[in-house]
Structures are given as C-alpha cells and as structure tokens.
Amino acid sequence: MASSVPVAVRADDDPSFARTGRPRRSWVARSRPWLLLAPGLAVLAVLMLWPLLRVFLFSLQDYGLPQIVSGEPNWIGLGNFAEVLTSEQLWSVVLPNTIGFAVLAVSATVAFGTAVAVLLASLGTAWRAVVSSCIMAAWAMPAVTGTYVWVWIFDADRGVFNHVLQSLGLQDAPVNWFTDRWSFYAIVLLNIVHHGFPFVTVTVLAALLGVPRELIEAAEIDGAGGWRRFFSIIVPQLRQVFAVVIIMSTIWDFKVFAQVFLMPGGAGTNREVLNLGVWSYVESFGQNRYGFGAAIAVLLTLMLLAITVVYVRTILKEEEL
C-alpha cells in the first residue's frame, strides 16, 4: 500500500525556515499549506460534506418532487426513520440481504483470497508472476461489465450454465436462476468473490513473502505440519494485514449496488432481493420518496461509519498519519 510509506516531515523542514534560517516565518509561508489545500477542500466540502449533511436533513422531511421543485422544507421529524425501522421489509428482507450477505461475502472472499495467496507463495517465481497477472484480470473487470457477463452465463434461455447442465442430463428444462432469492444472491456472491479476492491475494501474498524464513524453518524442524505452521506462525504475524483486508472487504460488501441492481429483477421489481443501497435508490428515484430513501441511506451510512471507526483505529495503531 502506498500509504504505508512513513511521512518524512521534520520540525525544521518548513521551506522558508530552512532557506533563511530565521525563526520568524512570513505570512505566505505560514499559510502555504492552507493555500495548497484550499481548492481540494472546497470541492470536498461542497460535493461530499454538504451533501452528507443534506441527506440527513432530507431524512427528517417528507421530501418529494414538489419539495425538489420549490426548495421548501417539509419537516416531519423522525417519521421516516420510524417507518423504516417498523417496516417488515427491512427486517425480513433488506437487512438479511445486506448484513447476512456481507458476512458471507467477506468470509468467502478472505478465505479464498488467502488460500490463493498460500498457493502462489508455494509456486516458483515465474509461475507466481504468470498466475498473479491472470488474477489481475479478474480485479480489473469493471463491476458493470462483470455483472452482465455473470448474468449472461446464468441466462435462463441461452446461458451457458443451463446449456451445460442440460447436456449433462442434470436438468430437464431451463431454470431461471434470478427469480429465487437464494440462487439470486448465490450469483451475486460468485460475482463479488471473483471480483474481490485478487485484492486479498495480492495484499496477503506481499505479507507472506515478508514472514522471516527462520521462523518457518524452526517450526518445520520442530515437526509442525502445514496447517499448524499456517495458523500458529503465519497468521499471528499477519494479524494487522488480515485486519485491514477484512475491514476493507466489509466496507465494500456492505455497499454492493451495481452487482444487484443490474441483475434481472434487481432494480426493484423483485422486492425479495433488495438490499439497503438498492432499496434507498428505488424508493428515492423510483417512487419519488426522497425523504424516505434518504432515511435508509442514513442507516447504511451509520453502519459503514461504525466499521470505518474500527478501520481508522486499526491503521492508527500501525502508522502515524
């Protein structure tokens, strides 16, 4: 990771100070960091922080098309949140599809990615380079085209998956895999793991190659088997790396949008497969209930914020900002 480079700032590196040797700094030199930051901060303030505050304000209103046109507020207090939190849809469909799926997807991605990293570490240098490049192809595939390819593979009438099952005699008639909630999310899971495991593999592999060989040699001489060496020697060495990889994957897998939205029925027609992000979008832009959609989005943001706090604490342990 580029961010792990230590920050080379010292007390005496202020340019004007270094140049003139005078302890008093000019006004320009003192305000230089702020001048440099100003354009970027202005963009972030207007296009990230203000909208973030605004989505919260919207969530406290009955905000629909009339409010968008007139710009007049229409406060209803916590009404939207009450409606979201008491809705059957949230508890029986949306939360399981969001949290349950994220748990499954993160476990599968991290387990598979780590297994591949161990496999790569056991290969020779040339093969390792070839296989890693192929893995990059899976990572580089854009979410949109990747999702369409999976939809095409599992297409009911002409998809290769049904064709193969039928020619093997495992299935009499084509099956529509997108109508059932479980098979729908199984395909999403396949898509997410396929797209997400290269990040885990690359990060864990880099850390694996950094584990001191003496440790592994010593354990092997002491008679520790492969599993024992992995869980007792390598995993403790890589705790920090695993923490970062797990948290990053969790953040991504909570926010799955295109991979669900672009599947047949995923854009709101099949209410069984909604997750928090898609539900928020469908309520806002499909039903013009922007206030209600904003309340759902606020819930999603709060969940991610909680995970982010854990993440920030983890990297603050590792390096000084």
Partner 1 sequence: MSVLSVRRPTPRAQVGKAVAVVALLVFTLFPAYWMLVSAFDAKAGLGTSFVPAEPTVEHFRFVLTEGGFDVFLRNSAVVALVTVLVSAVLALLASVAVARFRFRLRTQILLMILVVQMVPLEALVIPLFVQVRNLQLLETLLGLIVVYVALALPFGIWMLRGFVAAVPVELEEAAYVDGASWGRMFRSILLPLVAPGLVATSIFSFITAWNEFLFAMTLLGGATENYTVAIGLRSFFGQFSNEWGAIMAASTLITVPVMVFFILVQRRLAAGLTSGAVKG
Check binding of 215 to partner 1 (CB under 8 A).
no
Residue 9 phi/psi, 5-degree rounding, is -110, 130
Instruction: Say how many C-beta atoms besides its own lie within 10 A of residue 113's C-beta.
Output: 24
Distance of CA 203 to the CA centre of its chain: 15
CB 298 within 8 A of CB 55: yes
Q: Which stretch binds partner 1 (CB under 8 A): 72-80, 87-95, 237-245, 255-263?
A: 255-263
Check binding of 119 to partner 1 (CB under 8 A).
yes
CB 202 within 8 A of CB 90: no
Check binding of 124 to partner 1 (CB under 8 A).
yes
Strand partners, 61: 75
For residues 279 and 261, what is the distance between their CA atoms, to the nearest angstrom? 10
Binders in 150-179 for partner 1, by CB under 8 A = 150, 152-153, 155, 157-160, 163-164, 167
Binding mask 73-112 for partner 1 (x = CB under 8 A): ----------------------------------------
Running DSSP on this structure, what letter comes out for residue 4? G
Residue from the set 72, 88, 134, 223 that interacts with partner 1 by CB under 8 A: 134
Task: Output 110 or 262, the one with its CB closest to partner 1.
Answer: 262
Task: Output 3 or 86, the one with its CB closest to partner 1.
Answer: 3
For residues 310 and 316, what is the distance between their CA atoms, to the nearest angstrom? 10
What is the size of the binding site for partner 1 (CB under 8 A)?
115
Q: Which stretch binds partner 1 (CB under 8 A): 30-38, 88-96, 180-188, 238-246?
A: 30-38
